[in-house]
Amino acid sequence: MARFGDALVEDADLDQAAERALRGALKPLDGAEPDLTAVFVCGSSDDATAGALHLVAAASNASTVVGCSATGVIGGGRGLEGTSAVAVWCAVLPGVRLRSFSLEVMPTDEGLAVVGMPEPARDDVVAVVLADPWSFPVDGFVAGSNESRGGLPVVGGMAAGAHGRGSTRLLVDGTVIDRGAVGVMLSGAVNAYPLVSQGCRPIGPAMTVTAAEDNVILELAGVPAVTKLREIVAELPPVEQAMATSGLQLGIARDEYVDEHRQGDFLVRGIAGADAEREGLVVGDVVPVGRTVRFQVRDAEAADADLREVLGDFRDNPSRGRAEGALLFSCNGRGASLFGSADHDPMVLREALAHSGVAGFFAAGEIGPVGGRNFVHGFTASMLAFTG
C-alpha cells in the first residue's frame, strides 16, 4: 500500500472531475483512509469551483482537507493551465498531528493583525498555507512568521480565481471561503522537508554592498552599482548578455559566514530598474550595507538545471530517507510560458524525487524557506517532500 496518491482530471463538469480525481488519488492507498487531502481546482465558474472543493471535502473521508482555486493545477505527472480541471492529493500520515486553520485580518490599535493560527507547540514541524493575495497580507504574514514561530518552515502558495479580486476560493475541511488564508499545521512524527528552486543561475562575481539606501543599492565593491553592472555584463558571452538585458535578478546571500556561496545560498529578488541620478539599482527588497550579492539570470535552461540540482541534492542525502510524495507550488510564470509545457515541473519532480503522490497548483506567488527563513517568491517552485 502506498501512503500517497494523486490524480488530475480535466473535464468541463468540475463535479465529475472532482469525483474522478478523488477516486484516482485514493486508489494507491488500497482502502486506507487519508489523514490529509488537498484539492486544487481550475474553473471558469466561481460557484462550480466551490462546488468541486465541497465535493472532495465531503467524500474524501480525510480528517483534514485543504484546497483552493488556481489558474492551473498539477497532478498525475502533468500540469494544466487555464483549463477546467481538478487535482487531488491524498496522504496517510501515521503519527502526525494535523491542525487545520483559517486566517483572517483584524484591525487592532496598532494596525492590522492576522488571527487564526494554531497555538505554537514544541513538536510543530511545518505549516502549509494557501492564501488569497487580494485580501491577505501574505508578505507581512510570512515575514512575521520567522520571528513569531521561531523558524518554523512555511510552505505554500497564493491562490487565484478566474475573475481576479473576489473570485478566489479557499477550502478548509468542509468550509469554502473567498478571502484570507487557510492551511494546516503538521506536528509530531512528520518526515517532511521544504525545498525551493528559484530557477536562476549566477553571473559575475560575488560582491559586497558598500552603499545602499532602503531598496536602492548605490555601490557594489566600492563602485557605483550601475557602473559595476555594466562592467560585468560587458564581459559576458553574447547569449548571457541578452539574458541579462531581459531578465536580470539579484541574489542576496542568506549566510555571510560560509566559505563559498553556492547557487541555492542566495535569495533571488528582481531588479526593478535604475536610479539614474545616483547610479543605483532598485531592488525588490531592502539590501543592507555589508551584504554579499551576486547577479542572476533566469531562463528555461537555468530553471530546469536549478530544479534538478535542488532535487538531486535532496535525493542524495541518505539521512532523509526516500521521498514518497510531495506537494508542489509552481509559479504561474513557469509552466508553458517558460518551458513551453505546463508538465515540466511535475515531470521533473516525479522523475528525480517521488514517482507518484505529487500534486499542487500554479501559484500567483510561492511560499518557502531559503537559508532558514520564510519568504514569498516569484518564478519559483516551492515543494514539500514527504519521506518514509
Tell me how far apart the alpha carbons of residues 143 and 294 are, in angstroms, rounded to a whole number: 23
pLDDT interval class at 238 (50, 70, 90): confident
The predicted model scores a pTM of 0.92
Asked if residues 323 and 354 have their Cβ atoms less than 8 Å apart, the reply is yes
Domain boundary among 297, 318, 347: 297
Both 182 and 213 in one domain: the answer is: no
Sheet holding 36-42, edge to edge: 4-10, 85-91, 36-42, 64-69, 170-172, 175-177
Both 170 and 112 in one domain: the answer is: yes
Both 349 and 239 in one domain: the answer is: no
Share of the chain above pLDDT 90, in %: 81
Tell me how far apart the alpha carbons of residues 198 and 349 are, in angstroms, rounded to a whole number: 14
pLDDT interval class at 236 (50, 70, 90): confident
If you search the block for the grid coordinates 491524498, which residue do you land on?
Answer: 90
Both 223 and 123 in one domain: the answer is: no
pLDDT of 381 above 80? yes
Domain boundary among 297, 320, 344: 297
Nearest Cα to 360, choosing from 175, 191, 110, 158? 158
Tell me how far apart the alpha carbons of residues 336 and 38 are, in angstroms, rounded to a whole number: 24
pLDDT of 32 above 90? yes
Asked if residues 360 and 371 have their Cβ atoms less than 8 Å apart, the reply is no
Phi first, then psi: give them for residue 185, nearest 5 degrees: -95, 130
- Note the residue count of the chain: 388
The whole-number average pLDDT for the span 119-125 is: 96
Domain boundary among 297, 321, 346: 297
Both 181 and 227 in one domain: the answer is: no
